[in-house]
Structure 1
Amino acid sequence: MNLNIVVIGLSVTSSWGNGHATTYRALIEALARRGHHVTFLERDAPWYRDHRDVTNPASWRVELYQSLKDLPRRFGGLVRNADLVVIGSYVPDGIAISEWVTTHARGITAFYDIDTPVTLARLEHGLEYLSAAMIPRFDLYLSFAGGPVPQTIEKRYGSPLARTLYCSADTDIYRPQVARNRWTLGYLGTYSDDRQPVLEQLLITPARKLSSEQFVVAGAQYPEGTVWPGNVSRIEHLSPDRHPAFYAEQRFTLNATRADMKALGFSPSVRLFEAAACGTPVISDRWPGLETVFEPSREILLASGPREVLEILRDMPEDRRRSIAEQAHRRVLRDHTSDHRARQLEGYYAEALAHRRRKTTQFPASRPMQVAEI
């Protein structure tokens, strides 16, 4: 089954200030390895244009467009004839694009919600990239949150088929490296108001207490004037190809969860999988469903406040630290690689196609096939 897949997403060319790019790249590379033809359509936004770290992928295609009107003019035939068209969250003019795609495409249409906790928390108040009325029009809703969330999307919003598609680690890139530990604890992530208190509690406060140890925070968009302890290094941005070496230089790395993700639960960050794939033990804040992704105390360490972090950093024997890293690495290889996600998507596509055929047999009313304008 070699599929022609079109993805319309926020950005795949730039990892600056967003986690979408690495998620898309891992999934698309895996799909391409499995013989599928993938084209990614991205709005040519200046803030991503200035920070591009992928321009010419070898095994799949990227096309940039300037405006909403470009899509039907340049890519109408591509979208109409694709086996699967996927629209991602936070796409500019996402509602208008979704209306066009779900009317125009002949193949299976899917919404890939890389921001499911944010979407569900704010959907009733209005979003620029998705409306509640659009959800039933997609054949498939791919949720970044697992557990009971897909069933909720089906029951509350009328999705014909909602399934979990977590992020993953591309193990061709994210794998253990041998390096000297420069930092006792590090963190990689874009600034977020609702995540900053977790960072303060679980990294900044321990750094102040352990003044002789070195810490690091890497990521874009932190406010100017933020005061960091003298033993906390700052890195403005790291391209994905530098992530493995960065993880290798940390004794432990921190996972800090946004408020909407924590409230909904079952919403692992891409950094969890990438750090574990690199063999770096993870300290995470607590949230519902984490135990379905990694086993606490065996594959991941949990902390609610600075005291627990300090106990881990001061007291954990080296053999236990290494054991946790090794067990997490094995779990990624078993359950959370990009190849796992590509296989899952293939299965969901087949499921959606069978559902479409059953529905067409029961209700044979024709579906409009062509709309020239958005």
Structure 2
Amino acid sequence: MRSIAFYGSSLVSAYWNGAATYYRGMIRALAGLGYRVTFYEPDVYDRQKNRDIDPPDWCRVVVYDGTSEALKRAAAEAGQADIVVKCSGVGYEDDLLLAEVLRAARPDALRVFWDVDAPATLAEMQAAPDHPLRRALGSLGLVLTYGGGDPVVAAYRALGARECVPIYNALDPETHHPVAPQDRFVGDLAFLGNRLPDRDARVEEFFTRPAHAVPGARFLLGGSGWHDRPFPPNVHRLGHVGTADHNALNGSPRMVLNIARDSMAANGFSPATRVFEAAGAGACLVTDAWEGIELFLMPDREVLVARDGQDVADLLRSVGHERARLMGEAALRRVLSEHTYAHRAAQAHALFERHPGRMEAAE
């Protein structure tokens, strides 16, 4: 059984931490393949005060204080692992953590950088030739990303990565699945996402503009940061929606909207976790247009694609409840057959097994 030391933002809290669903799905599935995973996360940004799951039985969780000394102690434990994973966007002293983890890793361990926001990470490295991660790329055995396709792979290789492979977001059917609708989430179109600077303009186009255009429709807005943003009266703010309510929020409205961040939309091949969460709940998903969507869901059969807010408004007027139901059922079938975290973990396992410098499995 091989061991993984996994350094990320948080496994036990999704509070301002969109990568939580991805981490949970991947690590649970890797544990199912026999990996022993320890997840190291810093106690920062009030995440530990806003846990939405208890430490699971399929992963050991180590929470370290937000101090450099505690970070170094946690990083030193990387020396016990066969595979050492440093994720992007940990949120506390990322550069120091990278240096300490790589210093502690055994010479025969596989060193992995797992990027959960490749467009942002690449932009930082391309702007700074002396960026710590850019300098470290040559010492890493593998770069994994949760999206980006060929453009991200080419960019990482150009900066010196030995190998870069996308391991896309997916569905954990034990966590996200159809449930009975709830009255509080009934509506015509729901969008769930925290307010971020590189999402603001696209929310205005794909959510606010249709709300103005179809005043008789009921719009639901979940996520943090929207309290001071003006919306028309048919938009109902839900505030932060805990992960325990995501299935009901995805399964109750007629349609669910996905809006990519600017960088993800521009790059393409970057389905958000919410795409698979919604499909897993049997939702009729409307997504803004981005290159590569057909690799995951087939437009007009398993997902509705909108080029702009006018398209969203037109879909609200033309797609009735029966077609929406059939679309959601088709999406659910597709993600269960091709896009679960079991599929993604099998891909990661194959990479770990064949990659040079790996440890042989310990009995």
Q: If the length of structure 1 is used for normalisation, what is the TM-score? A: 0.88
Residue identity matched to 2:300: S
Aligned equivalents of 1:187 and 1:137: distance in 2?
41
Q: Post-superposition shift, 1:323?
A: 2.4
Q: Post-superposition shift, 1:210?
A: 2.3
SS in 2 for 1:149: helix
- Aligned match of 1:101: 101
Does residue 211 (structure 1) correspond to residue 187 (structure 2)? The answer is: no
Matches within 5 A, 1:228-239: 228-239=231-242
Residue identity matched to 1:44: D
- Aligned match of 2:198: 194
Does residue 182 (structure 1) correspond to residue 186 (structure 2)? The answer is: yes
Matches within 5 A, 1:306-317: 306-317=309-320
**Would you say the 8 A contact 1:16–1:220 is kept in 2?**
no
**Would you say the 8 A contact 1:12–1:24 is kept in 2?**
yes
Alpha carbons of structure 1 residues 151 and 210: separation in structure 2 relative to 1, 3 Å: closer
Does residue 324 (structure 1) correspond to residue 334 (structure 2)? The answer is: no
The CA deviation string for residues 271-292 of structure 1, in whole angstroms up to 9 with x for no partner, is: 0011001100111111112222
Alpha carbons of structure 1 residues 205 and 151: separation in structure 2 relative to 1, 3 Å: closer
Residue identity matched to 2:265: K
- Aligned match of 2:357: 356
Residue identity matched to 1:10: S
The CA deviation string for residues 292-334 of structure 1, in whole angstroms up to 9 with x for no partner, is: 2211111111112222112211112444322221221111112
Matches within 5 A, 1:73-222: 73=73, 76=76, 78-91=77-90, 92-106=92-106, 107-126=109-128, 131-179=133-181, 182-222=186-226
SS in 1 for 2:188: strand
Alpha carbons of structure 1 residues 127 and 303: separation in structure 2 relative to 1, 3 Å: farther
Alpha carbons of structure 1 residues 356 and 153: separation in structure 2 relative to 1, 3 Å: farther
**Would you say the 8 A contact 2:118–2:148 is kept in 1?**
no
Identity of aligned residues (%): 32
Aligned equivalents of 1:128 and 1:197: distance in 2?
32
Stretches of 4+ moved more than 4 A in 1? Answer: 126-130
Aligned equivalents of 1:135 and 1:281: distance in 2?
40
Alpha carbons of structure 1 residues 256 and 130: separation in structure 2 relative to 1, 3 Å: farther
Alpha carbons of structure 1 residues 118 and 35: separation in structure 2 relative to 1, 3 Å: same
Aligned equivalents of 1:286 and 1:132: distance in 2?
31
- Aligned match of 1:303: 306
Does residue 283 (structure 1) correspond to residue 286 (structure 2)? The answer is: yes
Residue identity matched to 1:112: W
Q: CA RMSD in A?
A: 2.1
**Would you say the 8 A contact 1:14–1:54 is kept in 2?**
yes
Alpha carbons of structure 1 residues 232 and 74: separation in structure 2 relative to 1, 3 Å: closer
SS in 2 for 1:50: helix
- Aligned match of 2:262: 259
Does residue 340 (structure 1) correspond to residue 326 (structure 2)? The answer is: no
Aligned equivalents of 1:231 and 1:45: distance in 2?
36
Q: Post-superposition shift, 1:128?
A: 12
Report how many aligned residue pairs link the two structures: 352
SS in 2 for 1:284: strand
Aligned equivalents of 1:64 and 1:27: distance in 2?
19
The CA deviation string for residues 183-210 of structure 1, in whole angstroms up to 9 with x for no partner, is: 1000011111221222222222222232
Q: Post-superposition shift, 1:127?
A: 11
Does residue 11 (structure 1) correspond to residue 10 (structure 2)? The answer is: yes
Aligned equivalents of 1:279 and 1:129: distance in 2?
43
Q: Post-superposition shift, 1:217?
A: 0.7
Q: Post-superposition shift, 1:101?
A: 2.2
The CA deviation string for residues 130-183 of structure 1, in whole angstroms up to 9 with x for no partner, is: 531122221110012242135314530221121111122211011112326711
Aligned equivalents of 2:318 and 2:72: distance in 1?
60
SS in 2 for 1:141: strand
SS in 2 for 1:250: coil
Q: Post-superposition shift, 1:33?
A: 2.5
Q: If the length of structure 2 is used for normalisation, what is the TM-score? A: 0.91
Gaps of 5+ in 2: 359-363
The CA deviation string for residues 26-63 of structure 1, in whole angstroms up to 9 with x for no partner, is: 11122223322111101111421232212322221111
**Would you say the 8 A contact 2:75–2:101 is kept in 1?**
no
Alpha carbons of structure 1 residues 44 and 128: separation in structure 2 relative to 1, 3 Å: farther
The CA deviation string for residues 224-250 of structure 1, in whole angstroms up to 9 with x for no partner, is: 421122121112211212100111111
Alpha carbons of structure 1 residues 128 and 232: separation in structure 2 relative to 1, 3 Å: farther
**Would you say the 8 A contact 2:269–2:293 is kept in 1?**
yes
